[in-house]
Amino acid sequence: MNDDLVIGMAGSGGDGVVSAGEALTSAAAAAGYHVIMTKSFGSQIRGGESSCRVRAATRPIHGCGGTLDVAVALSWSDFLKFGAELPVGPDTIVVHDETTGVAPQDIPLAGVSPENVLAAPIGAMSLEAAGTERARNIVVLGLLAGWFGIAAEALRRGIAKRYAKKSAGVLEGAERAFDAGMQHAARHPLDPPRALARGDVAGGGKLLTDGNDMCAAAAIFAGCRFFGGYPITPSSEIMQLLSREIWKYGGALLQAEDEIAGIGAALGASFAGKKAMTATSGPGMSLKTEILGLASIAELPLVVVNVQRGGPSTGMPTKSEQADLFQAAFSAHGDVVRPVLAPTCVADTFDVTVHAFNLAEELQTPVVVLSDQEIAQRKESLDPIDVGRFTIHERRTPTAEELHDYRRFRFTEDGVSPLSHPGMAGGAYQGAGIEHGEAGSPTSSGALHARMNEKRFHKLDVLQARRDLFQVEGDADADLALIAWGSTAGVCREALEILRAEGRRSKLLVPWLLYPVADDVYRSFLDGVRAGLVVEQSYQGQLFRVLRMYVDLPAGVRSFARSGANPFQPREIARRLQEIATPARDGAVVAQLHG
């Protein structure tokens, strides 16, 4: 029996591959498995290729897994477009529609010869059972349930629920298609069997959700009462959920005419005294940069979520990448520092979003949350969120005494000044993007400008002591180390497990807080480290370069970076760390590692 199974499927846009993956994910979660599903599409507006990966395991998992255990190709031309996103190895069971006309020994996988290639009459079974080939995805679910013992009854219930509003003929056809797949699997059993061990249905109920929905839910919980934004892949689901739910909590949402208007409205709501947020992706962040600067100099709370995607300009809208850190930290004119946070999975997206709102309100600053496409759109089973462990913070408002001679930007010991809002008696002040004195009046004094810069920077000093915004895992005194953020953190967590199983002492640092750099946290973690990797999905290795600006990294700590849509695998990271831990024959170590 297997305790972990990774399935990858690909087909054309109309093949229902993602729908099949979602059905399999829901059924596996209901059957007690820990499950993660990622999905990927071509960048076409309509049609094109689509794929998904579903990982189901009897133990907790942190990522979508490495090499596929099962690969399903409804179309080889579509499957091959996903490259490293659907990696096939010699032990992968390959299933494809026999109508492709490709013989098992001729499947088009360069350099890989899987031992088990199954050509099944998927289209023919669909046509016979349902009267259409559009049920091929349902046949595939039957094959997977039959061969691997995955939640057959839960899949049946899911099919019945999905097609309940269709005609009786459509529902019966879908049920027959599922049965056809099951029966084919029974007639052609795997040798040897590869069934997945049973899930723990007694473990209690789990949530099944994605990072975008988790972000929106956390925003409402944190007190967000205004959202202004513009739809953009892959962040749009945040706006979609808030458009349904924020009204129930006394909030409001504006779908603006463009990205600039969206953040402008959100900042206006913050000025008016409401917790506010906007969400976008990289191209939208480029447009929002000027008003981010206004939020910084006006010292107004604002949460800006950037769900990163691949490449500059339009780039690869449907692929994941971690290449917007430079933009989040440095895309401003003048001296600006704003906190940048990043979740590592669906579950901690809730935590990070709440932290972002708390920091924005406490420090009166914009806070950027760097999610990425994988986290934002992947489905993940998780335990219900214990909201009792959170404390929600509010902005500092002026007392009656402070309103008597109100100075909005008063110099204080911690740099944070009481913030009024329109309608507060005595709280009127001049707020603008021009440099100002304590009362908000414009100034061109170099001395006053220097003091205001010091004030704005000083209030972020408290972040240096926020060790709760970092997770350290593994052996504290190990001399091998990994540093990872965003969606690559889960892969590194599993690499750490591999290293432990092989008897290699190692440790992992995962920052939620990316910027400003908490120097002492990194120095403490890296003390005694002789070899390490900063792992991230960006060509330049952006976090590695930022760390070098502030931290004297040990000589053996290297960057392990690659462009988006080329995911890391846990064993690959474990192997690379061991390679740099062993000096080359000439005593030199490669200075920069690019995947």
> What confidence category does residue 478 fall into, taking pLDDT thresholds of 50, 70 and 90?
very high
pLDDT at 589: 44
**Strand ranges inside 62-152, DSSP E:** 70-73, 93-97, 116-120
Percent of the chain with pLDDT over 90: 87
* Tokens of residue 568, six digits: 């890391």
Is residue 476's pLDDT more than 90? yes
> What confidence category does residue 349 fall into, taking pLDDT thresholds of 50, 70 and 90?
very high
Is residue 594's pLDDT more than 70? no
> What confidence category does residue 99 fall into, taking pLDDT thresholds of 50, 70 and 90?
confident
Long-range CB pairs of 115-120 (<8 Å, 24+ gap) are 115/90, 115/91, 116/92, 116/190, 118/93, 118/94, 118/188, 120/95, 120/96, 120/184, 120/188
465 Cβ contact list (under 8 Å, min separation 6) = 518
Is residue 180's pLDDT more than 80? yes
> What confidence category does residue 161 fall into, taking pLDDT thresholds of 50, 70 and 90?
confident
Distance CA(544)–CA(67), nearest Å, equals 27
Distance CA(232)–CA(240), nearest Å, equals 11
Distance CA(362)–CA(396), nearest Å, equals 7
444 Cβ contact list (under 8 Å, min separation 6) = 435
> For strand 226-229 and strand 593-594, is the pairing parallel, antiparallel, or unpaired?
unpaired
What's the whole-number mean pLDDT along residues 8-12? 94
Q: Which domains does the chain have, with CATH numbers?
A: 4-203 (3.40.920.10), 208-389 (3.40.50.970), 396-465 (no CATH), 469-594 (3.40.50.920)
Is residue 585's pLDDT more than 50? no
501 Cβ contact list (under 8 Å, min separation 6) = none
pLDDT at 102: 80
Is residue 206's pLDDT more than 90? no
Distance CA(440)–CA(403), nearest Å, equals 14
Is residue 253's pLDDT more than 50? yes
Q: If we measure between CA atoms, which residue out of 194, 196, 150, 207 comes closest to residue 58? A: 196
pLDDT in tens, 534-574: 999 999 999 999 999 999 999 999 999 999 999 999 999 99
Q: 3-class DSSP state for residue 480? A: strand
Percent of the chain with pLDDT over 70: 97
pTM value is: 0.94
Distance CA(124)–CA(139), nearest Å, equals 10
More confident residue, 225 or 593: 225
pLDDT at 162: 86
What's the whole-number mean pLDDT along residues 308-314? 95
Distance CA(437)–CA(451), nearest Å, equals 9
Distance CA(428)–CA(414), nearest Å, equals 23
What's the whole-number mean pLDDT along residues 571-583? 93
What's the whole-number mean pLDDT along residues 434-458? 97
pLDDT in tens, 33-86: 999 999 998 876 666 899 999 999 999 999 999 999 999 999 899 999 999 999
What's the whole-number mean pLDDT along residues 24-28? 94
pLDDT at 46: 65
pLDDT at 88: 95
Q: Which residue bears the tokens 């995962």? A: 510
What's the whole-number mean pLDDT along residues 8-25? 92
pLDDT at 590: 46
What's the whole-number mean pLDDT along residues 360-369? 98
List b or e across 142-175, with b for residues whose CB sees 16 or more CB atoms inside 10 angstroms: bbbbbbbbbbbebbbebbeebbeeeeeeebebbb
Is residue 490's pLDDT more than 70? yes
Is residue 205's pLDDT more than 80? no
pLDDT at 100: 76
> Under the phi-then-psi rule, with left for phi > 0, alpha for psi from -120 to 50, and beta for the rest, what region is 223?
left
pLDDT at 469: 98
Type of residue numbered 377 = Q
Question: What is the length of the chain?
Answer: 595
> What confidence category does residue 519 fall into, taking pLDDT thresholds of 50, 70 and 90?
very high
Distance CA(359)–CA(363), nearest Å, equals 6
* Tokens of residue 562, six digits: 């690659």
pLDDT in tens, 239-249: 999 999 999 99
* Tokens of residue 488, six digits: 């690559």
Is residue 124's pLDDT more than 80? yes
Backbone CA torsion sign across 108, 109, 110, 113? negative
Is residue 400's pLDDT more than 90? yes
pLDDT at 164: 83
Q: pLDDT averaged over the chain? A: 94
Instruction: Locate all alpha helices (DSSP H) within 206-316, ordered by sequence.
Output: 211-222, 236-245, 259-271, 282-297
